[in-house]
Every structure is written in structure tokens, then in C-alpha cells.
Structure 1
Amino acid sequence: MERALEAVEAGRFFGGARGELGIEADVSAGHSLGEWAAMVAAGMYPREAVDTFLAALPPGSLKVPDLVYAALGCGAPRAEAALHGEDGVVVSHDNCPHQSVVCGDPAGVARVVARLGAEGVLCRELPFRSGFHTPMWEPYLGQV
């Protein structure tokens, strides 16, 4: 979660720097926490609201499931097919026709990565754990 808070803070920093340099953005975009960072950078939220939000989530205060993500060099249909028999793994992101992400328990994701890797699909475990964008996050929603 610390990385998520850092992303929001980075959005705030770059939004401020952009303004100080006299650069006006035509558009701000992001995905997931990146959307929040983009909205902060664009000034969509009052500074006090962002401060209150960040103060409510001190490092280590948010409990997240011990789930891993893996980026896959294949589309969601192929990723979904590779989940056969992996009840604790889901396709969490259908990013484009040739890139998707799976999320789930570490052992299950490792098996999916090995299965697809053996078929020549590029796969990489991502360096964060949370379960955002999955049904496994539902029991944790009450924290935010």
C-alpha cells in the first residue's frame, strides 16, 4: 500500500511542478491508483481532501490479501484458458489483445506463469501484492 500512497503523492508533486513551470495539461490519465494520482495532479480534489485521505491511510494500516500479479504477453482469452484448475487465480486485467494480468495465490499464479511460459508466452510476476481489481479484494473493502 505504501507504493499506492507514493503514487498519489507523486501525482501531487508533478501536478504542482507542472503548474509552477507554466505547463497546462490537456488531459490527465491513469489506471487504478494511477487514476487517483492523475486526478490529484489535475487538481480535481482540494488539497485538504487529499491530505485527509492520505492521513487516514498511514503506512501499514491497510490490510491486503497475500496475492500476486503476473503480467502476461497474451490476451485475456488465452490467459483465462491457462487458469484451468486454478480456483484461486483470476484474470484481473484485460489490457489489450496481447497483454493481460492474472492475480491470485502465489502458488497458483506461479503454475499459470510456468504453464504459459512453457508455451512461449512472456510472463513476469509484478512487484506488489494487494488483490485490487479482483473478487478476492471484496472482504477488505470495509477498510477504505
Structure 2
Amino acid sequence: METTAPSGPRPVVLMFAGQGAQHPGMGRHLYGTEPVFTAALEEVFGLLGPRARRLRADFLAGRADGLDDAERAQPLLFALGYATARLVRGWGVRPAALLGHSVGEAVAAVVAGVMSLPDAVRLLVARTEAAARTPPGGMLAVAAPAGALAPLLPAGVVIGAVNGPRQTLLAGADAPLAEAERRLRGRGVLCRRARARQGFHSPLMDPVVASTLPDLARTPLRPPAVRLYSACTGHPLTPAQAVDPRFWAGQIAAPVLFGPALDRLLADGDVLLVDAGPGESLLSLARRHPAVTSGRSDVVAVLPPARADTGLVHAALPAALRRIRAEGHRSCVQ
């Protein structure tokens, strides 16, 4: 990614959230009021088939029951990320790069042109159905470095995500994950269960990889037209990886390296990070990065935090637009 001259606007990088960022009511204030957002959301719902009716109804009602299940959270997070990206691009903003967390990387793949929206939604449905059939599991957010945790983990628990220097997610089946939590709390380590009922990014997902690979092998894949930083590798996605079905099939079982990917992205140049997911989940991770705390780069969220009051909910979008325009992206709408 090329950096701009100091006097020019910093390039915009869109970030897309993954499992755990979902919350009741996420983004529903934009449905019916923002035409581009609404049309994009309906485009995804239209591709989801019979499940779309209930998903749309639950989304509009802000229902919380079952929201953490893969078959509900993943399609809604995908749809919301895609619709928010379309909204931002509708302002005239052309992102210089993309970064997705877990299922957010599938959104980034569509925005980058690696796969078509219909193909991505079809694959997402197959993947979430397969994930829902895996043994009960989950993820555990731990305030400790991944390297320090590895020796303490019971069999069946792995590092599922590295989100920052002391922001780690463990993944595995319910029983060993509960044992890991007991051990860590006994040592005074802060931890909490993440909003996931499946052990994403762990060996529990190996059957999902096997079941989705044949379909992926038949799916047209293209090199990215926009620079895509992969949270699966921690580096920019290469053309070879982009067209490799094994890469995309294996992504659900491999650890998420969001922290290393963000490190690489911010080392490549100063940017304006735009959190296009719900709940400001990626904003909260990025704002702690030295490149952001120093002011070299900055971060803004399009959607409000979870449990925000009505005023803050409706203020988030215009505030994000003002911030992007203030950066110097004057092609934005007035």
C-alpha cells in the first residue's frame, strides 16, 4: 500500500468484524433510512434462501436469543459488513486496503473482488451449517500474551486468535475450555467467554474444512483488486493465496492473526482505519495500537457501540462521515 504525501488525506482502510462482535439491534437504525445500506442488506438476504425471512425478522426486531449461534451470527455479520462497505463506498470513498477478522475476511474477499457475492454467500451458508454440526464449543477472551498462555492450556484448547499483544482468544470444546478458564482465573488472569457457541479457529473445525473444500474448488477465485491484509496469515494476501481454495477452506480452522495483520498494515503507512462492523469491536482493538495512539494513524467507526443510547446510535453515522471528509476525502457526499 502506497502512502500519501503528508499534506494529503490518509488512505482509508475498511475493517470487517467477526464472530463475537454481534449484538441485538446492530445496524437496524440504518435499515429503511439509508437506501444504499438497505439495498445491499436485502441483496444478501435475497441470496440466503429460506433462512432469510427469519434472519431479517430477527434483525429488525433486535432479538438476542440464539444470536451467538453460527447459523445466525455469521450471516448477519457478513450482511452487515457488506452493507456498511457499500454505504461507505457510496460516499465516494475508495478504500486503499481491507482487513477482516474471521468471517469478516469473507466480506473483504467480496469487496476486493476475490469472489462474487453470490458465491461468497453460498459458501458462507454451507460453512455455517457445517460449523453448527461440530461438538459444542466456544472461545475465551484472555488478557495475556498468546506465548505465555500456550504452556498453560489443557489438551483440546488452542490459540484461536491473536488480537493484540495482550488480547488473545482461546478456542476449543466446552469442557476443556472451562478447564482452561478455571486454570487461568486461578492464576489471576482476566478472562471471559466470547460470544460464540462453536469452537471456531480450532481443530473442531477440521470437518468443516473437509466438507467445504470441494465446493470451493469449483468456485471462481481471482487475485484481489484492492490490497487485502489477511488475518489468516498476518500479511497481505498474495495472488496465489487468493485463488487457492485450500486457503479459504482452511481459514475457519486456522488461528486469526488480526494483531499481526494490523501491525503489518500500519507499518506500511499511515491510514484512516474505518471499522465497518458492529459494536466498535475492531475500533477498540485498533485504538490501542502505537501507530494510532501516536496520532500517525486514526480510527473511526461507522456503527455505534453496543448498548448505546438512542442519541449515540443515530449520531455515529454522520460523525463517521464528517471525520472521513475532514481527513480530506472531498469526494464524499455533502
TM-score tier by shorter-chain length is: 0.7 to 0.9
Q: Give the Cα separation in 1 of the matches to 2:119 and 2:175.
A: 39
Matches within 5 A, 1:60-139: 61-62=129-130, 63-83=133-153, 86-139=154-207
- Higher relative strand content: 1
Deviation at 1:44, TM superposition (A): 4.2
Query: Any idea what the Cα deviations from partners look like across 1:26-63, whole Å, max 9, x if unmatched?
Result: 22111221111223244543334335445xx2797332
Partner AA of 2:109 in structure 1? M
Pick the aligned partner of 1:10 from 58, 66, 80: 80
Are the counterparts in 1 of residues 106 and 120 from structure 2 also a CA contact under 8 Å?
Answer: no
Q: Give the Cα separation in 1 of the matches to 2:93 and 2:116.
A: 20
Q: Give the Cα separation in 2 of the matches to 1:113 and 1:5.
A: 29
User: Unmatched 5+ residue regions in structure 2?
Assistant: 1-69, 213-334
> 2:314 — aligned with what?
none
**Partner SS for 1:128:** coil
**Partner SS for 1:87:** coil
With the length of structure 1 as denominator, give the TM-score of the two structures.
Answer: 0.80
**Partner SS for 1:32:** coil
- Alignment coverage as a number of residue pairs: 140
User: Residue 29 in 1 paired to residue 99 in 2?
Assistant: yes
Are the counterparts in 1 of residues 139 and 194 from structure 2 also a CA contact under 8 Å?
Answer: yes
RMSD: 2.4
Q: Give the Cα separation in 1 of the matches to 2:162 and 2:117.
A: 33
Deviation at 1:69, TM superposition (A): 0.7
The 3 A distance-change label for structure 1 pair 42 and 123 is: same
Q: Give the Cα separation in 1 of the matches to 2:84 and 2:193.
A: 28
Are the counterparts in 1 of residues 173 and 204 from structure 2 also a CA contact under 8 Å?
Answer: no
Which range is displaced more, 90-99 or 67-76?
90-99
Partner AA of 1:8 in structure 2? F
Query: Any idea what the Cα deviations from partners look like across 1:93-126, whole Å, max 9, x if unmatched?
Result: 2333312221122122122112212322110111
Q: Give the Cα separation in 2 of the matches to 1:140 and 1:40.
A: 21
Q: Kindly name which structure, 1 or 2, has the bigger radius of gyration based on alpha carbons.
A: 2
With the length of structure 2 as denominator, give the TM-score of the two structures.
Answer: 0.38
